[in-house]
Structure 1
């Protein structure tokens, strides 16, 4: 594979999953760690990505860069609009982190009267700016690569609440392995979030369908809704409709 093709693949993975691990890229591309290190250095040097410990992350997901562009933003706004149809006045809603959830926070109608819990400080900031709802930020150790709180403190807090509906983003989703992620701390928080909710909706652009990461969050039958940017009648969603309510 040529360097340009390799770096295009890396950019695609970063845009889809927000963060990639160097070790995973070595396996997927069948190249050495030195090759991946050089690729990441070049991409970071051209301001296309942000290098982090063990890999790289999207600059659009980095809260410190000032960049407001989001990969597939139109698609994520479409998902957000669908997701908001599930939220009614008086509900208690739990939100995860990620760029699709942030689009949801920006589109919540001003006259909507709900209580929102979230594990993401940046999502909390969006909620405060764009809505008049009550916002409760759960506490814990801030995971700087994902901008969500993790650890026993937040998991204990989640065990003490019961929400009507939880919205989660995902790094990967497939029929065989369900919802998967690449970060152990994130997996544990997502499991606790699902347990605290009467119903759970996964929000995901269609590009992430039929993909897997190394660490499992849950099976699909644990969830209630799948919300994507494509029409539910699309053929690729047919197998998912057998397990979930697809919007």
Structure 2
């Protein structure tokens, strides 16, 4: 099969399934996984798909409503949340943005934890409101309905006046050279203000979003302290992050 025919097949499968796996394509097309990876890279460079760990997604992946995203890759998000909850300690001031992985994390915080949370996420604030010992400050502003999070100058201004112990970011895209990036400019502005207000920045990211890029920068790779994924920390895709001194969990 010619390269052009493989590309057409890959795009057809991606359109039908909304996700393709390198291993499956290798079997279906009777070529090596290295060949498929090169095909996916070329298609990604042309903007026809988004190459992720183990396969590819449509170029505009994850356009779902917030409630749909709550159940998307839920097992991975729960695993990340379980790993990350020990990062939050008694007495800390915590900054947290929106995202369904962050929501899974706050659901699992111990009931005897004493902390102060600043957040622009409506679901996170509501979840934390039931915790007996956590003080919650919600950053009001324009509600971005798809994200269930507030944006705008008021939100950025509030976060600019805080010096927090830790910032925990739900992450749309993470790249070993570009750092954390975001598809929405206004969301990126808010996330950047969170990063600038914290001593330590932690990214929670499911593996399919690793080594992907969006147009707007949130945090340079040098500003990132910790990355939490559902993967084993020895996974090959995490090697570039380890080489940059980032803590992997």
TM range (shorter): 0.7 to 0.9
Summarize the Cα distance change of 1:195–1:242 in structure 2 as closer, same or farther, 3 Å threshold.
same
**Whole-Å Cα distance in 1 between the matches of residues 235 and 47 of structure 2?**
32
Summarize the Cα distance change of 1:58–1:119 in structure 2 as closer, same or farther, 3 Å threshold.
same
Q: 1:8 Cα shift? A: 2.2
Q: Report if aligned partners of 1:90, 1:114 keep a CA contact under 8 Å in 2.
A: yes
Q: Report if aligned partners of 1:105, 1:130 keep a CA contact under 8 Å in 2.
A: no
Taking structure 2 as the reference length, the TM-score comes to 0.75
Q: 1:9 Cα shift? A: 2.5
Q: Is 1:9 aligned to 2:18, yes or no?
A: yes
Residue matched to 2:109 = 108
Residue matched to 1:57 = 63
Residue matched to 1:120 = 121
Tell me, what secondary structure is at the counterpart of 2:48?
A: helix
Tell me, what secondary structure is at the counterpart of 2:166?
A: strand
**Whole-Å Cα distance in 1 between the matches of residues 131 and 69 of structure 2?**
16
The superposition leaves residues 84-125 of structure 1 with CA deviations (integer Å, 9 ceiling, x where unpaired) of 111111111111111100000110111111111111111111
Q: Which 4+ stretches in 1 moved above 4 angstroms?
A: 1-4
Residue matched to 2:48 = 28
Q: Is 1:240 aligned to 2:241, yes or no?
A: yes
**Whole-Å Cα distance in 1 between the matches of residues 159 and 118 of structure 2?**
9
- Please, what is the CA RMSD of the aligned residues? 2.6
Residue matched to 1:79 = 80
Tell me, what secondary structure is at the counterpart of 1:198?
A: coil
Q: 1:27 Cα shift? A: 4.6
- Could you tell me which runs of 5 or more consecutive residues in structure 1 were left unpaired when the two chains were aligned: 13-23, 30-53
**Whole-Å Cα distance in 1 between the matches of residues 106 and 185 of structure 2?**
26
**Whole-Å Cα distance in 2 between the matches of residues 93 and 87 of structure 1?**
8
- Could you tell me which runs of 5 or more consecutive residues in structure 2 were left unpaired when the two chains were aligned: 1-7, 22-43, 50-59
Q: 1:168 Cα shift? A: 0.2
The superposition leaves residues 41-80 of structure 1 with CA deviations (integer Å, 9 ceiling, x where unpaired) of xxxxxxxxxxxxx997324x23xxxx69511111111111
The superposition leaves residues 160-203 of structure 1 with CA deviations (integer Å, 9 ceiling, x where unpaired) of 11110010011111112211111000110011000110111000
Q: Which has the larger radius of gyration?
A: 2
**Whole-Å Cα distance in 2 between the matches of residues 11 and 133 of structure 1?**
42
Q: Report if aligned partners of 1:150, 1:186 keep a CA contact under 8 Å in 2.
A: yes
Summarize the Cα distance change of 1:3–1:178 in structure 2 as closer, same or farther, 3 Å threshold.
same
Aligned residues: 207
Taking structure 1 as the reference length, the TM-score comes to 0.76
**Whole-Å Cα distance in 1 between the matches of residues 213 and 207 of structure 2?**
13
